[in-house]
Amino acid sequence: MNPASYDELDGVRTYKLFIAGEWMRSSRNIVADSVNPADGAIFARTQQAGRDEVVRAIDAAHKAFGAWGSSLASEREKILLKTAEVIERRTPEIRDMLIDECGSVFNKALWEISYVTDCLVSAAGDVRHVMGETMPVTQPGQISMSVRRPLGVVAGIAPFNSPFLLSMKKIAFALAAGNTFVLKPSEETPISGALIADLFDEAGLPAGVLNVVPGVPAEVGDLIMADPRVKLVTFTGSTRTGRKLAVEAAKHLKRFTLEMGGKSPLIVLKDADLDYAVDAAAFGVFLHQGQVCMANSKIMVEAPIFDAFKERFVAKAKTIPVGHPREATSVIGPLIRDSQVAFIDGQLEDASGKGAVIELGGGHEGRYFQPTVLTGVTPDMRIYHEESFGPVVSLIRVADSEEALAIANDTEYGLSAAVITNDLQKAMDLSMRLESGMVHVNDCTITDEPHVPFGGVKNSGFGREGGRSSWEELTEQKWITIQLGKREFPF
Per-residue pLDDT tens digits for 401-451:
999 999 999 999 999 999 999 999 999 999 999 999 999 999 999 999 999
Question: d(Cα 247, Cα 224) in Å, to the nearest integer?
Answer: 14
User: What is the structure's pLDDT at 359?
Assistant: 98
The answer to whether 293 is a known catalytic residue is yes
- Among residues 102, 119, 293, 444, the one annotated as catalytic is 293
Rg of the chain (C-alpha set): 24
User: What is the structure's pLDDT at 218?
Assistant: 87
User: What is the structure's pLDDT at 10?
Assistant: 84
User: What is the structure's pLDDT at 130?
Assistant: 87
Q: How far is CA 337 from the centre of its chain?
A: 19
Question: d(Cα 404, Cα 418) in Å, to the nearest integer?
Answer: 11
User: What is the structure's pLDDT at 330?
Assistant: 96
User: What is the structure's pLDDT at 262?
Assistant: 95
Say what the pTM is. 0.95
Length reported for the chain: 491
Helix axes 191-203, 163-176, angle to 10 degrees: 40
Q: What is the strand order of the sheet 180-184 is part of?
A: 22-24, 17-19, 210-212, 180-184, 153-157, 230-236, 255-259, 461-462
User: What is the structure's pLDDT at 468?
Assistant: 86
User: What is the structure's pLDDT at 420?
Assistant: 98
**Low pLDDT (below 50) residues in the chain:** none
- Among residues 188, 259, 359, 435, the one annotated as catalytic is 259
User: What is the structure's pLDDT at 35?
Assistant: 94
Residues 6+ positions from 171 with CB-CB distance below 8 Å: 156, 181, 183, 196, 200, 210
Question: Are 396 and 301 a contacting pair, CB within 8 Å?
Answer: yes
